[in-house]
Amino acid sequence: MICAHYLSKYLATTLNWLYNVLPSTGGYEPVMFARTTSNLRDFPLKNLYALSDLAPHRRLYNLAVYKTLGYFPLFYNAGRDRDVDLLHVHLGYDGYRMLPLKRKLRVPMVTGFFGIDASKYLRMPEWRERYRRLFDEGECFLALGPRMRDALVNAGCPAAKLRIFHVAIVVEDFPFRARVLGDRERATILMGATFREKKGVAYALDAMASLRKRGLPFKFVLAGDGPLRPQIERQISDLDLRRHVELLGYVDPLAFRGLMERSHIVILPSVTASDGDTEGTPLVLVEALAMGIPVVSTLHADIPEIVKDGVSGYLVPERDSGALAERLIHLVEHPESWEAIGRAGREHVAEQFNATKQFDKLLKIYSGLIPKQDGAA
């Protein structure tokens, strides 16, 4: 069985977890179609066809055909020559864009949704209409959790075509360690995020100000960058947090894993942005729980699928920095609770967000869509 995958950019770090479900195992071989590439050293893949690798004249030809007929000849020819059985497109808006390729290849198509494509885009009238066509022609759609599934159903996706498919990690790559606070050690609170509205960095900093006023020994490590950095820097200064905050800038995934190994608590106070953008199920929370780190996040999107409130961490309402501070204060003042919380998180991730289990689930979805060959059982 050969499945052709499509990502506009292979492989953005925000989607690096997909690499865990692309191995050539179990009689399934992946072929990747992409317009551009990045991070190939970290995520090498055979059978990668990228428009950006073409000579300029061939790239222009492909773009001209796409504008006229809706598909890229590079992808069609590769799919035909490899005799692909299935097309899997990994973002909702790209699913719509790849419909002509699906028709040309005459294969079933799976479309996965991951966040903004199932939130902000659903508020745009032109995209709601495009999605109706996608929902009509596509055979299967993947949502990260029940809230995303419900949003897609409300937008017109037939419930019978929807499956929940979690983000996945190789659990063994994230060793568990019970978190303890040493004598005279400050609690290290870690957050990693792009500095955009939906990440809720401003509310995290407000909560840190409450911890500072309470006189608690803590350090807030903030890894990330983005358009809101100037506002974040001003807020750190205005709240007199410069001695408590380490602002690191962008940190690559492997280095961030090292930061998690040295941290006691991970936070992500996500919110629904003013333009409707939301999270899906943030990978950073999955990884933190796998490592035994208590987390504090928000009742936002499908985060409750990852974090079980009061069991593997705490969830608070969006934009409620007071509630966020209250939960953080409780954790910092009760380090004896960290081990039990961490073990509960590890168990949940190993059961629900395990790459091996999710890959098996994906294979069953694929097999159910591919027509049986003559004589097959």
Alpha-carbon torsion (369, 370, 373, 377), positive or negative: negative
Cβ–Cβ < 8 Å for 267, 295 = yes
Report d(CA 170, CA 355) in Å as an integer. Answer: 5
Residue 29, classed as helix, strand or coil, is: strand
Measured at the CA of 350, the angle between CA 347 and CA 353, to 5 degrees, comes to: 125
pLDDT score, position 19: 85
pLDDT score, position 196: 96
Alpha-carbon torsion (353, 356, 362, 364), positive or negative: negative
Residues forming a β-bridge with 78: none
pLDDT score, position 253: 86
Burial environment of residue 219 by CB neighbours within 10 A (0 to 12, 13 to 18, 19 or more): middle
Average the pLDDT over 328-352 and give the result. 97
pLDDT score, position 25: 57
Q: Return phi, psi of residue 8, to 5°.
A: -60, -40
Q: Is the pLDDT of residue 65 over 70?
A: yes
Q: Is the pLDDT of residue 15 over 90?
A: no
Q: Helix (H) and strand (E) counts for the chain?
A: 13, 13
218, containing H or E segment: strand 218-223
Residue 372, classed as helix, strand or coil, is: coil
**pLDDT confidence band for 351 (50 / 70 / 90):** very high
CA atoms within 13 A on the CB side of 112: 21
Report d(CA 286, CA 293) in Å as an integer. Answer: 10
Cβ–Cβ < 8 Å for 142, 368 = no
State the average pLDDT for the chain: 94
Report the predicted TM-score, pTM, of the whole model to 2 decimal places: 0.91
Peptide bond into 11 cis (omega under 30): yes
Q: Is the pLDDT of residue 376 over 50?
A: no
Angle between helices 283-290 and 253-261 (to 10 degrees): 40
Q: In what order do the strands lie in the sheet with 265-268?
A: 245-249, 218-223, 187-192, 265-268, 295-298, 313-316
Please report, rounded to a whole number, the percentage of residues in the chain having pLDDT higher than 90: 88
Distances from the Cα of 165 to the Cαs of 120, 146, 256, 285, in angstroms? 20, 10, 25, 16
Q: Supply the DSSP symbol for 309.
A: B
**pLDDT confidence band for 16 (50 / 70 / 90):** confident
Poorest-confidence range of 66-75, 165-174, 202-211? 165-174
Cβ neighbours of residue 90 closer than 8 Å, sequence gap 6 or more: 5, 6, 7, 15, 18, 112, 114
pLDDT score, position 261: 97
pLDDT tens profile 142-170: 999 999 999 999 999 999 999 999 998 99
Task: Enter the tokens of residue 100.
Answer: 């002509």
Q: Is the pLDDT of residue 283 over 80?
A: yes
Q: Is the pLDDT of residue 375 over 80?
A: no
pLDDT tens profile 296-309: 999 999 999 999 99
Residue entry with tokens 């003013």: 274
Distances from the Cα of 226 to the Cαs of 109, 220, 222, 245, in angstroms? 34, 18, 12, 17
**pLDDT confidence band for 377 (50 / 70 / 90):** very low
The more confidently predicted of residues 291 and 21 is 291
Residue 9, classed as helix, strand or coil, is: strand
Query: Minimal CA–CA distance to 174: which of 286, 294, 18?
Result: 286
